[in-house]
């Protein structure tokens, strides 16, 4: 059976953002560019999904099952050529100038094709999220310039974000659980910087990364939260190594590595957050990325349902199509309804990121004016990096960023993000399981990809904080204060 024959979902040839989210029509009247660009991003995601990702989904799953270090560099080059990794970079610097809304419209399609491949190339942007959360101008400018250069040269530039340790998963990312954290890695102050020793594990793209952002404790005598800092270093630094790659149940195309730090030296200039502020850094990133993982769950659920609809419209039972059965239509409608409701919340989150979180920075007057006035040659130059290094500018920009994204804003997004992460990944689990009930054993055949989506869904309930930990986080944020628990 050739699975994708209906012009539906990933295979529709028109954007359906406004059909799915009719309230955006009001916004389109007022901000036509904002909505039209999101529609274009959706179609770009759909085209890439059909032309680049879908033909590779099972091939990569199989190859990475045999060899978890396998990378399809040809696929990478094609994604890079189409600017799938630099969409968010301002247009004047060589990107597509995407807002959070555009990014979400694009990633929904990519995740619906394959969350494993998408997480491999998109979670690379964790490094960029880490930099923008810090908003140290010289770092942000250098990372943006390097990403654009790599894109133009067709080369990879990867970042990993490492918080999980062999002795601390939930404990390393939840402020309450952290009280019990027993670190497996420490950074010791030495002249001019820190020496890091210890281990991290389950780190996405840890083996492919050119740079690592790591949250690490500095003082074994104090509670972890009081001494955790954020460190940034190139993986060429002496003492850094990859211990192993994990064999996982899903997300096989995305590498997950255990890392070893053996006297890794990080100069003071690359300490992004001083000891004691590492948890804040983690929370702010999670306040963005949990929403992204909610969208991943939505895409995963959509991918499962769309394959099921395609399958059921071709499979014959009792002399008619499986999809003509009333019980199948009711089950599909039930799943569609959950997807529709969750999608509305995901895009609400994206628009809120544009208005209130880091994405709003580039829309504010100083950044917007700089992007408008400065010529492209200067924006891509080392002189701009040198200028951005000046301590007064660094301080002013950092203050500006923290005035826009306050601690309250960050915690608000963390709880919204937790709700999305749990709702999205649980929905992916439910839908990917339910479609297998509909298609039966034939639909479970590896070649249709639905069984793979089920495995992918399971893995996504665990990272970015387990869904249990996210539920507790959500409860504490929304109800804790009311009942006097935090």
Per CB under 6 A, residues contacting ligand FAD are 161-164, 169-170, 173, 177, 202-204, 248, 251, 256, 459, 462-463, 465-466, 468-469, 472
Contacts of 182 (CB under 8 A, 6+ apart): 167, 168, 171
252 and 59 Cβ atoms separated by less than 8 Å: no
Q: How far is the CB of 110 from ligand FAD (least distance, A)?
A: 17
Helix, coil or strand: residue 3: coil
User: Of 96 and 178, which has the nearer Cβ to ligand FAD?
Assistant: 178
The smaller minimum CB distance to ligand FAD, of residues 102 and 207, is found at: 207
Dihedrals phi, psi of 230, to nearest 5 degrees: -120, 125
Nearest approach in angstroms of CB 279 to ligand FAD is: 13
- Would you say 18 or 462 has its CB closer to ligand FAD? 462
> Of all residues in this chain, which one has the CB nearest to ligand FAD in the complex?
169
Q: What is the DSSP string of 401-460?
A: HHHHS-HHHHHHHHHHHHHHHHHHHHHHHHHHHHHHHHHHHHHTSGGGSHHHHHHHHHHH
Which CB, 185 or 308, lies closer to ligand FAD?
A: 185
With beta carbons less than 8 A apart as the criterion, state whether 210 and 416 touch: no
Q: Which of 274, 166, 268 is nearest to 230 (CA)?
A: 274
Q: What minimum distance in Å lies between the beta carbon of 256 and ligand FAD? A: 5
As a whole number of angstroms, the distance between CA 420 and CA 436 comes to 24
Q: Which helix (H) or strand (E) holds 201?
A: strand 193-204
Pick 94 or 169: Cβ nearer ligand FAD: 169
Q: How far is the CB of 270 from ligand FAD (least distance, A)?
A: 18
Nearer to ligand FAD, 145 or 461 (CB): 461
The enclosing H or E element of 158 equals: none
Per-residue tokens: 171 = 């404990």
**Token couple for 222:** 């104090």
Quote the least distance from Cβ 375 to ligand FAD, whole Å.
Answer: 37
In the complex, the smallest distance separating the C-beta of residue 422 from ligand FAD, rounded to whole angstroms, is 11
Q: How far is the CB of 145 from ligand FAD (least distance, A)?
A: 24
- How far apart CA 261 and CA 300 sit, in angstroms, is 34
Contacts of 336 (CB under 8 A, 6+ apart): 305
Beta pairing partners, 198:
185, 261
- Cα–Cα separations (whole angstroms), residue 145 to 48, 132, 210, 276, 385: 24, 14, 15, 30, 9
Q: Which is nearer to ligand FAD, 94 or 297 (CB)?
A: 297
Q: Which is nearer to ligand FAD, 135 or 161 (CB)?
A: 161
Q: How far is the CB of 420 from ligand FAD (least distance, A)?
A: 16
Closest to ligand FAD by CB, 93 vs 203, is: 203
Nearest-approach distance from CB 485 to ligand FAD, in angstroms: 13
Alpha-carbon torsion 293, 298, 302, 305, what sign?
Answer: positive
């Amino acid at each position: 059976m050739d699975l994708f024959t209906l012009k539906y979902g990933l295979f529709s040839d028109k954007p359906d953002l406004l059909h799915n989210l009719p309230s955006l029509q009001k916004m389109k009247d007022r901000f036509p560019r904002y909505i039209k660009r999101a529609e274009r991003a959706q179609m770009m995601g759909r085209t890439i999904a059909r032309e680049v990702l879908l033909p590779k989904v099972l091939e990569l799953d199989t190859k990475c099952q045999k060899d978890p270090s396998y990378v399809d560099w040809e696929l990478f080059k094609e994604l890079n050529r189409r600017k799938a990794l630099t969409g968010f970079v301002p247009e004047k610097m060589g990107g597509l100038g995407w807002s959070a809304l555009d990014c979400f419209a694009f990633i929904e399609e990519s995740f619906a094709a394959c969350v494993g491949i998408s997480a491999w190339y998109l979670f690379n942007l964790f490094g960029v999220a880490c930099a923008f959360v810090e908003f140290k101008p010289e770092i942000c400018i250098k990372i943006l310039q390097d990403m654009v250069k790599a894109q133009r040269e067709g080369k990879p530039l990867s970042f990993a974000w490492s918080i999980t340790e062999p002795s601390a998963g939930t404990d390393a990312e939840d402020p309450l659980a952290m009280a019990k954290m027993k670190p497996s890695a420490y950074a010791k102050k030495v002249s001019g910087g820190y020496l890091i020793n210890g281990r991290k594990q389950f780190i996405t793209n840890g083996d492919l990364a050119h740079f690592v952002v790591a949250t690490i404790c500095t003082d074994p005598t104090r509670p972890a939260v009081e001494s955790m800092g954020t460190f940034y270093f190139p993986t060429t630094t002496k003492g850094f190594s990859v211990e192993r790659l994990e064999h996982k149940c899903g997300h096989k195309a995305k590498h997950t590595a255990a890392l070893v730090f053996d006297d890794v030296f990080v100069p003071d200039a690359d300490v992004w957050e001083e000891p004691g502020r590492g948890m804040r850094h983690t929370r702010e990133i999670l306040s963005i990325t949990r929403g992204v993982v909610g969208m991943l769950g939505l895409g995963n659920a959509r991918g499962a349902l769309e394959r099921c609809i395609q399958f059921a419209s071709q499979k014959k039972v009792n002399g008619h199509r499986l999809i003509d059965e009333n019980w199948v239509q009711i089950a599909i409608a039930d799943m569609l309804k959950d997807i529709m409701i969750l999608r509305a919340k995901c895009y609400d989150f994206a628009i809120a990121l544009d208005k209130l979180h880091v994405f709003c920075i580039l829309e504010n007057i100083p950044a917007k004016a700089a992007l408008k006035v400065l010529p492209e040659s200067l924006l891509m130059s080392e002189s701009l990096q040198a200028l951005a290094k000046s301590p007064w500018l660094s301080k002013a920009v950092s203050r500006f960023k923290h005035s826009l994204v306050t601690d309250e804003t960050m915690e608000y997004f963390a709880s919204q993000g937790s709700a999305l992460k749990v709702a999205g990944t649980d929905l992916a689990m439910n839908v990917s399981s339910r479609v297998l009930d509909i298609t039966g054993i034939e639909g479970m055949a590896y070649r249709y990809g639905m069984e793979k989506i089920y495995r992918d869904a399971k893995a996504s309930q665990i990272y970015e904080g387990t869904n249990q930990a996210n539920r507790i986080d959500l409860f504490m944020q929304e109800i804790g204060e009311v009942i006097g628990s935090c």
